Each structure stands twice: as structure tokens, then as C-alpha cells.
């Protein structure tokens, strides 16, 4: 059976149906050859059963369905194909019953699993719905795993969007949020990740939280905004908790910069100020010092306190230096206290 149609939109559409017998099953191979916008590609669909209703602009496939579009292969128990009413051009392929899609390029393999996968052949957008999971493997080892209620991948700009209960495993980080965006390059490598709403990143024993978190592979930094919190535990057991309106973790410069209503807890000390920068030793991966810029205050055990325009807390040895209109309050007894004003003071913690 041959079906031939012509249209005036600068592409040719041809459908060839071949029915074959094998082990008493009928196998169908449909080859859809398209010439669209000057570029040709082929869609091959194999299945045990098929039904095409051109008057309803629908195609139905069941039984070991396998669809190949270029180097992308989708497998599922059944699938539907929607055709545009006027041109009869394939517009949408829907795969049911936990389909599996994969693409292999060189030593990398991309996998998509979900309850339903939809492939828009016109917009070139792949949507995975229900228990969606995307895996990126290199040399058969997973380097990125993304799970969510729903995922959408736009092949035009290599932008992936995940919605609902998002979990991203990437390098040595585990990120969670309500919504996430991941920008890939043409090789499938992650370039940027943006987490929105209840965003969290865990790395080793440390955790970062905020309303929004952005990660840049090029800059090697993490920017957190809105109700941010960093709980960082270092290899020597030192723990620093930072709360602020925004924070930036520079993995190249080994610094954490916090701005806006900064609150830092370290050992028995609590320090507050408009801005703070924590410097981390690149060799030992331990904190060297924390510098507070702007009118700041450090309090020991909720008793003794120092206010200054600048406060530098040094971890090894444990000391801090205050400069610029320094005001010190030291408790000497239950009913006494001592206050001291100066321009610069240095203390051992």
C-alpha cells in the first residue's frame, strides 16, 4: 500500500508500509522521510501491531514499539502518532506504559525514563511525565542523574526543565528543589543549573539552602539568594553556620561571601554584620579566617561582645581583631560589666 501526498510548504512526506511475518507475529516498519526547512531526517517506527487513521489524523502502535529519530531511540509497549490535519505531517509522538528513550554519542549516553514520554516533532521538545528520570553516562558511568515529577528538554537550545520534587545528582553534589533548569552544551555537558523554590545543595558534610540557587560550571561558583543558609563542616570538624539574604560560594577562589543581615555561628561565637567573607585554605580545605565588613558585632556565649567597623576572625590560632570605632563589653560578674571604646583591639578566642 502506498500513500502519496504533496504540499506547498517546502517538504516532502512519504509513508511506506511493509508488513512482515515472523514467528506468527506481524511486524510493521513505517519510514517517514521529511524534508523540513532545508534539512532532512528520518523517523523509523517498528511495532507488532499498527493502525493508521488518516481521516482522524492518528496512528496507533502497540507491541514492542521502537521509534528511531536520527540517533535517538524510544522504546515502549504502545504509542500514538498525531498528524497535522492539513499537511499530514507528524506533529506529536506519545509513548505510554513506562517508555525508555536513549541517545549515544561517542562515549556518552543519555537516557530518559518516565510513565509517559511525548516528543514534539515540530517544536523539537521532549516531555517526560510521571516519575521522570534523566541519566547522563560517560564510559558507562553516571555523571548526572535528574529525577522529577515532570521533565522537559528543548533540543533547540539544549535547555532542560524539571518540575516537582526535583533531585539532581551531579559531580559531588546533590541538589533538590521544586523547579530546576539545566543548560547543556552540544555535547550534553551541564553548563548551568538553576534551582527555584526550597532549593538545597548538599556536598559532603555541608549543606546550602535558599529560595534560589544557581551553579555555573564556567565560573565554578554557587550563588544563593533569598533566606539563605550555609552549614559547612570542614575536615577538621570545624563547623560554620551562615545565614544571610544572599551568599556566593567561589570554588576557584575558595571563598564564601555573604551579604545582607549576615549571621555567622562559629564555636561559642555569634557574629552579625552587613557583609562577611570566609576564606578557605585550598590545601587543607579548612577555614582560615572570616572577615566582617561594615558595622559588625561578635558575641561570646551570649555574654561578652565587641562591636567594630571591621572584624577579622582567625581560626588558627583562634583570635579576632576589631578595628574602627571599637566598642567592647566584658562581663565581670552577675551585676557588673566593663565597657571599653577604642579604634583597634585584638583578642584570643
* Cβ–Cβ under 8 Å, residues 95 and 116: yes
Domains and CATH numbers, the chain: 1-92 (no CATH), 204-349 (2.60.450.10)
pLDDT tens readout for residues 16-65: 333 333 332 333 333 333 333 334 456 788 999 988 888 899 989 999 99
pTM: 0.77
Residue 314 in grid coordinates: 582567625
Sign (positive or negative) of CA dihedral 78, 111, 73, 93 = positive
Q: Going residue by residue through the chain (349 aa), what tens digit of pLDDT does each one get?
A: 333 444 333 333 333 333 333 332 333 333 333 333 334 456 788 999 988 888 899 989 999 999 887 788 999 999 999 998 888 888 899 999 999 999 888 888 889 999 999 988 888 889 999 999 999 898 889 988 999 999 998 888 889 999 999 999 988 889 999 999 999 887 777 889 999 999 999 988 889 999 999 999 889 999 999 999 999 887 777 889 999 999 999 989 999 999 999 999 988 889 999 999 999 988 887 888 999 999 999 998 778 899 999 999 888 887 889 999 999 888 765 444 555 666 655 555 4
Q: What is the DSSP letter of 9?
A: S
**SS3 sequence of 178-230:** EEEEEEECCCCCEEEEEEEEEEEEEECCEEEEEEEEEEECCCCEEEEEEEEEE
Radius of gyration of the chain (CA): 30
Amino acid at each position: 500500500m502506498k500513500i502519496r501526498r504533496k504540499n506547498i510548504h517546502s517538504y516532502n512526506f512519504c509513508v511506506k508500509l511493509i508488513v512482515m511475518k515472523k514467528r506468527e507475529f506481524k511486524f510493521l516498519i513505517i519510514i517517514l522521510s521529511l524534508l523540513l526547512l532545508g534539512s532532512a531526517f528520518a523517523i523509523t517506527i517498528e511495532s507488532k501491531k499498527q493502525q493508521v487513521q488518516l481521516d482522524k489524523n492518528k496512528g496507533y502502535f502497540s507491541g514492542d514499539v521502537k521509534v528511531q529519530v536520527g540517533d535517538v531511540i524510544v522504546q515502549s509497549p504502545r504509542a500514538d502518532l498525531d498528524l497535522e490535519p492539513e499537511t499530514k505531517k507528524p506533529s506529536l509522538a506519545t509513548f505510554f506504559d513506562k517508555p525508555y528513550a536513549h541517545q549515544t554519542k561517542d562515549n556518552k549516553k543519555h537516557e530518559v525514563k518516565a510513565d509517559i514520554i511525548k516528543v514534539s516533532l515540530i517544536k523539537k521538545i521532549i516531555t517526560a511525565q510521571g516519575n521522570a528520570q534523566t541519566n547522563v553516562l560517560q564510559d558507562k558511568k553516571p555523571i548526572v542523574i535528574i529525577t522529577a515529577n515532570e521533565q522537559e528538554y528543548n533540543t533547540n537550545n539544549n535547555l532542560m526543565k524539571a518540575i516537582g520534587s526535583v533531585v539532581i545528582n551531579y559531580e559531588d553534589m546533590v541538589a533538590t528543589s521544586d523547579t530546576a533548569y539545566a543548560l547543556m552544551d552540544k555535547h550534553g555537558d551541564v553548563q548551568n543549573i538553576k534551582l527555584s523554590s526550597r532549593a538545597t545543595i548538599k556536598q559532603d558534610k555541608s549543606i546550602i539552602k535558599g529560595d534560589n540557587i544557581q551553579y555555573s560550571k564556567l565560573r565554578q561558583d554557587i550563588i544563593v539568594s533569598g533566606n539563605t543558609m550555609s552549614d559547612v563542616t570542614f575536615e577538621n570538624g570545624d563547623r560554620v553556620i551562615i545565614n544571610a539574604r544572599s551568599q556566593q560560594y567561589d570554588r576557584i577562589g575558595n571563598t564564601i561571601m555573604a551579604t545582607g543581615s549576615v549571621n555567622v555561628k562559629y564555636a561559642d561565637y555569634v557574629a552579625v554584620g552587613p557583609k562577611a567573607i570566609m576564606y578557605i585554605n585550598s590545601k587543607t580545605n579548612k577555614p582560615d579566617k572570616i572577615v566582617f565588613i561594615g558595622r559588625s558585632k561578635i558575641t561570646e556565649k551570649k555574654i561578652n561582645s565587641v562591636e567594630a567597623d571591621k572584624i577579622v576572625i582567625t581560626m588558627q590560632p583562634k583570635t579576632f581583631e576589631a578595628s574602627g570605632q571599637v566598642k567592647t563589653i566584658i562581663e565581670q560578674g552577675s551585676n557588673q560589666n566593663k565597657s571599653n571604646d577604642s579604634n583597634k583591639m585584638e583578642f584570643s578566642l
